Amino acid sequence: MELYLDSANLQEIEKAFELGFLTGLTTTPTFMHKEGIEDVDSLILKLADIVPILQIEALGETAEEIYVEVKRQLDMGLDINKTVFKIPVSLEGVKACKMLRNKGMMVNVHLVYTLQQAYMAMEAGATYVCPLVGRLQDQGHDALDLVQQCVDAVNFYGYDTKIMFSSVRNAEHVRNGLNIGVHTITVP
């Protein structure tokens, strides 16, 4: 199973990766702004030198806009083999996922709230499908059941997709993810 740190705090990230067992880092501009970082691109490039795999957001209203943003990020100097582009689930998002996967890029379709959304992402070839467990539970949903259904779909249908247990709120969530058999967990 893969373990990703979910952070934008440079000192925390450097210390965590000294442990030697983390798969990678996932972060967002929102987290970066909370840390007082204004030059997001500079931090992304610095993080890419520190971590084995970096997951970053690639946003846009259309699949084409998302593709342009990914191209811009790669042109900054990111390594296609060490970068996962996080795209929110939507019809345009899964279309962009398919476009990027066809070009050999890794994609995390995130903000997944239903099995149907997860299915579309898996069919589009998503490297990762990311249900937000903590957020779903905050809204009163049975997030663990959704994650289990996603893991079952990958295992039953043989998708080449990893289910990423995210929006972890506590240590119990990590145990839940392990018991469900997720492929990846992100932890703060």
- 27: CB partners within 8 A, 6+ apart: 6, 7, 8, 47, 54, 55, 56
CB contact at 8 A, 130 and 108: yes
Identify whether 46 is a catalytic site residue.
Answer: no
Grouping H, G, I as helix, E, B as strand and the rest as coil, residue 48 is helix
Question: What letter does residue 132 receive in the DSSP assignment?
Answer: B
User: What is the C-alpha separation between 173 and 184, in angstroms, rounded?
Assistant: 12
User: What is the C-alpha separation between 108 and 84, in angstroms, rounded?
Assistant: 6
Q: How many helices (H) and strands (E) does the chain have?
A: 9, 8
CB contact at 8 A, 3 and 187: yes
Helix (H) or strand (E) holding 69: helix 63-75
Q: Which of 86, 95, 98, 162 is catalytic?
A: 86
Grouping H, G, I as helix, E, B as strand and the rest as coil, residue 85 is strand
Q: Annotated active-site positions, please?
A: 86
